[in-house]
Amino acid sequence: MKFFLRLSSLIDRLNTVVGKSVTWLTLIVVLVSAINAIVRKVYGISSNQWLELQWYLFGAIFLLAAGYTFFVNEHVRVDALAERFPPRVQVWIDIIGVIFFLLPATLLIFWLSIPFFEQSYVLNEQSSNTGGLVRWPVKLLIPIGFALLALAGVSHLIKCIGFLRGVCPNPLLRNGGLSAEEELAQEIRQIAQANEATTSVSKGQ
């Protein structure tokens, strides 16, 4: 089990490096979008290259950060029913979800996207828009993004099994045992308490 936990740690580190690096693309997208808007409104100049660059960067953010989002447990969950179960049952639900849904879907898309990218690369596919960008780099993001997500699924599966065997903490929790929803609820309570304290001080004056 130690080997698999080390493997899980390496996968998590990889997704963390990629995820945190990709966050800088958000700033670049904002700057590119702002410059595009200013140039178009002020000078009446529009460039398909810069417009497509925005789309490519957005695709990179979405695809490359998917594994990191899964790792930090910030992906969308529908836990209305599952959250009512004990932690071990919730972990079993995640194991079933990863094995029968996440991994088959990500691996299938990864496999099918490779020839999709290869064909574009061999043909040096260009955008159909006048002055647009070359297409194969953005198509390369598909297999890379889904490979990272599949690896995140493998890492999560290892940690779920480790939790059931009592050798690692519950992977569904983070930051000392608080879920994202519990952190939000705690933050809301703190804000409410701070507002009440401010109101009390104001009334006392």
- Among the residue ranges 81-90, 98-107, 145-154, the one predicted with the least confidence is 81-90
Query: Max CA-CA distance within the chain?
Result: 75
Task: Pick the more confident residue, 4 or 44.
Answer: 4
Q: At what angle do helices 2-43 and 136-164 cross, to 10 degrees?
A: 140
What percent of the chain stands above pLDDT 70?
90
Place of tokens 């879907």: 105
Model pTM score: 0.81
Query: Per residue in 180-200, pLDDT tens?
Result: 666 667 788 888 888 887 777
What percent of the chain stands above pLDDT 90?
55
Dist. CA 145–CA 113, nearest whole Å = 11
pLDDT of residue 188: 86
Query: Per residue in 29-80, pLDDT tens?
Result: 999 889 888 888 888 877 788 888 988 999 999 999 999 999 988 877 766 6
Place of tokens 């990191």: 68
Dist. CA 173–CA 144, nearest whole Å = 27
pLDDT of residue 205: 59
| pLDDT greater than 60 at residue 28 | yes
Q: How far from 141 is each of 56, 59, 80, 109, 128, CA to CA, in Å? A: 9, 8, 33, 12, 19
Place of tokens 């049952």: 89
